[in-house]
Amino acid sequence: MSSMCNSMTTCVWMLLSFFFVFIPGHALLNSTSVQTVHRGTSVNISCNYKPSTDIDRLTVELQTDNKLCSVTKLNNSWINQPCRNHCRFIWIPETVQMSFEVSDLQINDTGMYKCVVTRTIPPPSVLLREERTFVQVFAHPILSVSHVRALGGFHTILCSSEGFYPSALEQLWMRNGEFQNASLTYSINKTNPDGSFTLHSYLNISDCVNYSCWVNHSSLSQPTILHMSPDCYGSRDKNVWIALATSALLILTILIITAVCEHSRRAHHRSPVRVNVTPEPDLQSHLQYDIYSLLGDHHPVHCIPVGVHSSPQRTPNVLH
């Protein structure tokens, strides 16, 4: 041991470190570990401390910028104090291990967590252990590809990565399996209300070949490639116009039929009721009598009844 020491001070520090590390229940050793979890899952933060039986009162706390959870060990029983949502204390008596569980982690839960163990009785208070764990919460990108039409009439394809965290993400276009020049793309990166990020990449195209979107993120085990099936965009636009014209023609036909039916219905309500009236016979033209004169020749004289004429007739003078 002396050959490894350059001075008496170095030897003393090595001996003290050896003593504190290997005596359970009395070691104050600050360490930091890193845990990566996905959004919505839970994490277990170990305290890495086994309390001894000679401690009357022990306090264990989970802290970030403030206190999340606290428990107190009095003799052989644990007294739980109110913990924040999604936090709970775990005690395993068989292995004399204690830890904290934080569930339903979200992006804003990323940060440093500390398990602090303090002896309060017998006094004075002594810090026995402070275990630090950095929790990194990842969020998978939600990927999609689609056809869009940009200003100017260009045929454009869109690759979207939504809701990912952290912000570092690679997103590239491939044409027939070969990466496209990034200068040919137009990208929009934005921050979402929950702290996650979204990236939209646009690519103007003029041919009918295989295009793919290549995405890489720390939350993915390997890069993901989204393929777009070949689409002859000219034929596609032609089909769209045919569908629109057919729909317009169908709507016009329905409107014409509706107008004709409405006109017929109104004409039916306005038509007068026809009544066949037999005209009375013209008495003046049909009611005639043959009157024979008693004087002179007996020739019939046509005469119209007096009641039929409207004008009075003079009475002839009779010569005796």
pLDDT single digits (tens) 229-279: 766 655 555 555 677 778 888 898 898 998 888 878 777 766 554 545 455
Give φ, ψ of 235 to 5 degrees: -65, -35
Q: What structural domains and CATH numbers belong to the chain?
A: 23-138 (2.60.40.10), 142-232 (2.60.40.10)
- DSSP H helices in the chain: 8-22, 233-270, 283-286
For the cut 90, the answer to whether the pLDDT of residue 17 exceeds it is no
The helix/strand/coil state of 283 is helix
The helix/strand/coil state of 120 is strand
Per-residue pLDDT, 23: 40
Confidence of residue 153 (pLDDT cuts 50, 70, 90): low
More confident residue, 67 or 4: 67
The rounded distance, in Å, linking the Cα atoms of 74 and 53 is 11
Radius of gyration of the chain (CA): 53
Highest mean pLDDT among 97-111, 198-212, 224-238: 97-111
Highest mean pLDDT among 16-20, 50-54, 251-255: 251-255
> Contact at 8 Å (CB) between 37 and 165?
no
Confidence of residue 135 (pLDDT cuts 50, 70, 90): very high
More confident residue, 136 or 51: 136
- Residue among 90, 161, 101, 85 nearest 135 (CA): 101
- Cα-Cα-Cα-Cα dihedral of 236, 242, 247, 250, to 10°? -160
Confidence of residue 1 (pLDDT cuts 50, 70, 90): very low
Q: Average of pLDDT values for 27-35?
A: 73
Highest mean pLDDT among 114-118, 253-257, 293-297: 114-118
Per-residue pLDDT, 21: 39
The rounded distance, in Å, linking the Cα atoms of 224 and 3 is 56
> Contact at 8 Å (CB) between 164 and 39?
no
Peptide bond into 166 cis (omega under 30): yes
The rounded distance, in Å, linking the Cα atoms of 172 and 185 is 9
Q: Average of pLDDT values for 97-124?
A: 92
Q: What angle do CA 307, 308, 309 make, to 5 degrees?
A: 100
- Cα-Cα-Cα-Cα dihedral of 40, 187, 217, 209, to 10°? 120
pLDDT single digits (tens) 181-195: 888 888 999 999 999
Task: Give Cα separations from 200 to 142, 146, 217, 219 (angstroms).
Answer: 11, 11, 15, 18
- Residue among 57, 95, 61, 49 nearest 75 (CA): 57
Least confident of 25-34, 47-56, 279-288: 279-288
For the cut 80, the answer to whether the pLDDT of residue 225 exceeds it is yes
Per-residue pLDDT, 261: 85
43-46 vs 57-63, strand pairing mode: unpaired
